[in-house]
Structure 1
Amino acid sequence: MKVTRIAYSTALNPGKYAALVDQARRLGRIRSEVWQRFGSVGGTGSGLKDRQVRDRWLVDGTHVSFGVLANAWKETVRDAMAHIAANLAAAKVEARRAVSRRTSDPAERKRMLSALAADRWVADPFLARQMRKHWKRGRNRTHDQIVVRADQHNSVVDRRGRLWLAVPGLERRRMIRIPLSTTVAPAGTLRLILRDGRVEVHYQIDSSQMRSSRRPCGNQTVGVDKGYSEVLTDSDGARHGRGLGELLAGESDRLKERNRRRAKLRSIANNAARDGDHAKAHRIRSNNLGTVKRDRQAARHRARLRTEVFNAVHRVVDKAATVVAEDLTKHFTGRKRLGKSINRRLATWTKGVTAEALASVSGRRGSALVHVNAAYTSQACHRCGRFGRRNGDRFHCTSCGVVWQADVNAAINILQRAGDPDIALHTPHHKVKQILQDRTDRHRTRLPVQDSSPATPSGERTIRTAQP
């Protein structure tokens, strides 16, 4: 398993940075050309590979106009084709979910999934509609990256102990040396990202080299539910990543205040430009409405967020050999309108970081990650299965007469969903609701004695409602 590491340039010469920017812009035009010609059904959708694209451009002479070295544009073509293929694969995931919703016949489902996997979906009307819906022609927005092949760069340490990375420029045998802020030399294929006068060097290492990969996992099977005040709540009642809520709230409030001040300055600059004072408008835009500081603050916030999430997932894996979680890559559209403050705080949260952390940490440490269908896990009681009311962090079950901690209740439901024979990962939510209602109806016909309800599992937080 591979993980990505980032090294940063330090005190980079402006002339070197300008040369790298020029090279990245030329490579960006090549990316745009790849997307324009091959980012459709006739390109990657027909099974076309990056080597075939390179051979075509070498034969027809298209490569002559690029103005970059051969290895640079070939690696760019490979990277762009891989990006297009990733978009295609993401669309196929949505199409597979649509197939599961459309038919329950195993033979028909196998036929459609096989056609989708073999890129023969164009001939099937339903699959073609789904792929057109989810795989729209994209466009290149990357003009600040350079991909360097593993055998095209080298590193050297000077007398002062600084590490210098040498990468190819626009001229043959003319390397650009970049001083790095690390003592670990990047290896393998590199991706240089140019941001605000600084170079980010992205490279991959084997996860077995990481100290956390040698950390053993636990031996339990644990269900987890994502949250907003904490990263994860497990089925034992433990909360992991309690600092997430403060982190999100603080960043949200800071952004609100900063954007309010920037909007006021932008209004002053617009009024000055309208009155003819263009010098004042230019000073405000140049000195007060820049993006360098804003982008660096956003990067620091993302780093703190990732640290909090990954530490929380590590604590879950410390106790779990199997982690049962919902599929965080799915999109849910809520019907309830939320206030502006809540919307701002939820907007700073991304499920993708948690999904990445669960997959990465469990894979590196040998813990199994099981995805389940999370429909109605937050709205049903884990003890009796009946639907109740959720109010903030409390779940009210009128049938049991108990107020559960909402996230713990959802985590237990997720854990129980792993062994559910009727509810698969892609079962539509309306069918899940019908299955749950049918189960409670059958249970209602043979209700046990009121005091014979099972004991509360260990780790659950319960708040008994007052009995009249």
Structure 2
Amino acid sequence: MKTTRIAYSHRLNAGKYAALVEQARRLGRVRSEVWQRYASVGGAWLTDRQVRDRWLAEGTHRQFGVLANAWKETVRDAMADITATFEAAKVPARKAIRRHTSDPAERRRLFGLLKADRWAEDPYLSRLMRSRWRRGHNRTRNQIVVRADQHNTRVDSRGRLWLAVPGLVRRQLVRIPLNTIVAPTGTLRLILRGDRVEIHYQIDAATMKTSQRPCGEATIGVDKGYTETLTDSDGDYHGEGLGHLLTTESDRLKERNRHRAKLRSVANTAAQRGNHAKADRIARNNLGAIKRDRQAGCHQARVRTEIFTAVHQVVDKAGVVVAEDLTKTFTGRKSLGRNTNRRLAAWTKGVTARALKNVSERRGSVLVHVNAAYTSQVCHRCGCLGRRAGDRLHCTSCGVVWQADVNAAINVLRRHGDPDITLHTPYLVVKQIVQARADRHRSRLPLPDSSPARRAESESSEALRNER
């Protein structure tokens, strides 16, 4: 398993940065030319080597003014992006095939042609892929791809790490000071943003220290939250600083954007009155994006650290992590205020899902997704639908007030191996099953579709209730 690491330049010379910007601009023309020519049905089956051979035979590469290794790596990277977009177009195409026919033999034939990239042979598949595929144009002008054998690093007498990459002139390297002592390896992707260079590279996740930590042995259900990252079925909270981080940043952005809007209005008014010097001065000194983007990057790094730390704490306890699948959205009936909606818009449940997946794979634990429908509204004790108010769940049947996140985590754990509620059961069907189980619980009837273990548990609890 590979994971991406990012190193940053440190106090890079303005002349060197300008040279890298010019090189990235020329390579952007290469990328645009590849997308313009081959991001279509006609270029779907070409490889990057075939494109390079064509350009060498036609002399197309001479118009860009960059070194051979630079434009060849850019062609390879662009063709990989085009292939990825074609593969993404196959996902809705497969769903359309399932709706188009119910004949197993016909489905097998269409799926086989689609998998083998021979969909142009079938008229239906050809129309389907042409409608799903959106011919794109690439306008990336700030990236440089450097092959693994084209860069080197060295440490100077002051302990600083320098990365040397090829420039526009042969045998003249551009040396970049880095803010780390870990040398980047493999193929590098240089991204130029705000007078700073980001160096993206991949490492083997097995070599990381956190990947060598053993996982636990328990089976634990977790509920993803806003105030804290995760709440497990044992009642423990992990990542309790996430809510404060998100709320503080959301409120800060609200005030900053309000002030920027006022300054933008002043600049627009000055431009309308003919005072372009004032408008340019405001835009240059007060409406820039460099500081804003760096602050956003720092905030995202803090959030990722908080989330990954919380996930590692869960995996320290659990060999099997049962989590709710939040890929499907459920529309709530209750309208929320503007401030609440603004803060929830920054909720990073996608980052939490990726962290659970990555950490589980690296440390050897098992991640199981279950249906999330009504896990936050059902009382785990009696199975009845309760009334949610903030972080509390009021059960209208047994009269108990539960901590909502802990209750949801217990329900998530119980969904693991549920014979009736699977991952893809529609939420309306889940509600019917929950209500039917609650009615049987009130009437003290056994569950007809339960497993033997669940049936024995129900009988033992019934006997204990009769003794009382």
Q: TM-score, normalised by structure 2?
A: 0.85
Alignment partner, residue 8 of structure 1: 8
Query: How many positions carry a matched residue from both structures?
Result: 449
Q: 1:313-370 CA deviation, whole Å, 9 max, x = no partner?
A: 0111010111122334555555643221012111222322112211221111111122
Alignment partner, residue 450 of structure 2: none
- Secondary structure in 2 matching 1:346: helix
Taking a change above 3 Å as real, the CA distance of residues 277 and 145 of structure 1, as seen in their structure-2 partners, is same
- Secondary structure in 2 matching 1:202: strand
Q: Which runs of 5+ in 2 are unaligned?
A: 447-457, 462-468
- Secondary structure in 2 matching 1:204: strand
Larger displacement relative to structure 2 (74-83 or 12-21)? 74-83
* C-alpha contact 2:93 2:128 (8 A) present in aligned 1: no
Q: What is the letter of the counterpart of residue 306 of structure 1?
A: R
Q: What is the letter of the counterpart of residue 286 of structure 1?
A: R
- Secondary structure in 2 matching 1:147: strand
Which has more radius of gyration?
A: 2
* C-alpha contact 2:326 2:372 (8 A) present in aligned 1: no
Aligned-pair identity (%): 72
Alignment partner, residue 403 of structure 2: 405
Alignment partner, residue 176 of structure 1: 174
Q: What is the letter of the counterpart of residue 377 of structure 2?
A: Q
**TM-fit CA distance, 1:100:** 7.9
Alignment partner, residue 73 of structure 2: 75
Alignment partner, residue 301 of structure 1: 299
Q: 1:244-287 CA deviation, whole Å, 9 max, x = no partner?
A: 11111100110011111111111111111112211111111111
Alpha-carbon separation, structure 1, partners of 2:123 and 2:416: 33
Equivalent residues in 2 for 1:310-325, closer than 5 Å: 310-325=308-323
Alignment partner, residue 62 of structure 2: 64
Q: What is the letter of the counterpart of residue 189 of structure 1?
A: T
Alpha-carbon separation, structure 2, partners of 1:329 and 1:389: 24
Alpha carbon RMSD of aligned pairs, Å?
A: 3.2
Alignment partner, residue 19 of structure 2: 19
Q: 1:55-89 CA deviation, whole Å, 9 max, x = no partner?
A: 33333333232222222122112222323333444
Alpha-carbon separation, structure 2, partners of 1:124 and 1:406: 53
- Secondary structure in 2 matching 1:390: strand
Q: Which runs of 5+ in 1 are unaligned?
A: 456-468
* C-alpha contact 1:121 1:128 (8 A) present in aligned 2: no
Taking a change above 3 Å as real, the CA distance of residues 244 and 192 of structure 1, as seen in their structure-2 partners, is same
Alpha-carbon separation, structure 2, partners of 1:128 and 1:339: 45
Alpha-carbon separation, structure 2, partners of 1:390 and 1:127: 50
Q: What is the letter of the counterpart of residue 304 of structure 2?
A: R
- Secondary structure in 1 matching 2:378: coil
Equivalent residues in 2 for 1:48-447, closer than 5 Å: 48-93=46-91, 116-119=114-117, 123=122, 132=131, 136-330=134-328, 334=332, 336-437=334-435, 439-440=437-438, 447=445
Q: 1:290-334 CA deviation, whole Å, 9 max, x = no partner?
A: 111111111111111111001010111010111122334555555
Taking a change above 3 Å as real, the CA distance of residues 210 and 377 of structure 1, as seen in their structure-2 partners, is same
- Secondary structure in 1 matching 2:185: coil
Q: What is the letter of the counterpart of residue 248 of structure 1?
A: L
Q: 1:130-183 CA deviation, whole Å, 9 max, x = no partner?
A: 9945x5444324221111010011112223332221111112222111122222
Alpha-carbon separation, structure 2, partners of 1:427 and 1:108: 27
Taking a change above 3 Å as real, the CA distance of residues 437 and 157 of structure 1, as seen in their structure-2 partners, is same
Alignment partner, residue 37 of structure 1: 37
Alpha-carbon separation, structure 1, partners of 2:231 and 2:71: 47
